[in-house]
Structure 1
Amino acid sequence: MSSVYDKARDLSQELRDSDEFQNLKNLHEEVENDEVAKRMLDNFRSLQLELQQKQMQGEQPSEEEINQAQKQFEMVQQHEVISKLMEVEQQMSTIIQDLNKIITEPLEDLYGSPEDQYDQQ
């Protein structure tokens, strides 16, 4: 079983060494070192988290909160470095999703995929 963990550690290192991760790391550092960009992104993510928490608790965000989130999103999208960071974060998220799908293939082979289970109902 330890070989599985060793391979996971190797994969983790491969991910750290990847161009995509290095690009993400550089953009993240650039935002962290820009006080205005950091504040803008922190405010946007904070508001985004608040809205997600409300939704998870079954509450609907108010029209004002939705408008405020949309305005903040438009502001951060206009900031070149933040926009690039968010784009690269999305690319990394896709890579992680793809890796997760590959890793869980043996379980899907054994039990079937969630989609298969829904189709049977």
Structure 2
Amino acid sequence: MSNVYDKAHELSRSLRDSDEFQQLKNLHVQVEEDEVAKRMLDNFRNVQLELQQKQMQGQQPTEEEITQAQQQFEMVQQHEVISLLMEQEQKVSTVIGDVNKIITEPLEELYGNPDDPENVQ
């Protein structure tokens, strides 16, 4: 089984060395070094987190909270570096999702894919 863990660590290094991750890392540094951008992004993520926590507790966000979140999103999208950072985060997330799908293929072959409508038992 240790070979699986060795491969996982190798995969981690590959992700860390990938262009997608390196670009994300560089953009993250740029945002961290820009006090205004960092504050804008932190505020946006705090609003997102608060909305997610409410939803997880079964509460619906108010119209005011939704409007505030939309305004925060529009504001961060207007900041070039933050916008690029968010795009790059999405690209890295897609890579990780694709890798996860590849890794879980043996389990799907064994048990089937629960999200597949043809696999309803």
Which residue number in structure 2 is paired with residue 54 of structure 1? 54
Distance, in Å, in 1 between the alignment partners of 2:35 and 2:97 is 31
Contact kept in structure 1, 2:16 and 2:22, CA below 8 Å: yes
Which residue number in structure 2 is paired with residue 36 of structure 1? 36
Distance, in Å, in 2 between the alignment partners of 1:94 and 1:103 is 14
Unaligned runs of 5+ in 2: none
**CA deviation after TM superposition for structure 1 residue 119, in Å:** 4.6
Deviations 1:47-76 (A, max 9, x none): 000000000100000000000000000000
Which residue number in structure 2 is paired with residue 74 of structure 1? 74
**CA deviation after TM superposition for structure 1 residue 118, in Å:** 7.2
Which residue number in structure 2 is paired with residue 4 of structure 1? 4
- The one-letter code matched in structure 2 to 1:58 is G
RMSD: 1.2
**CA deviation after TM superposition for structure 1 residue 120, in Å:** 1.9
Matched residue of 1:3: which SS?
A: helix
Q: Structure 1 stretches (4+) deviating beyond 6 angstroms? A: none
When normalised by structure 2's length, the TM-score is: 0.97
**CA deviation after TM superposition for structure 1 residue 115, in Å:** 2.1
Which residue number in structure 1 is paired with residue 110 of structure 2? 110
Corresponding pairs, count: 121
Unaligned runs of 5+ in 1: none
- The one-letter code matched in structure 2 to 1:17 is D
When normalised by structure 1's length, the TM-score is: 0.97
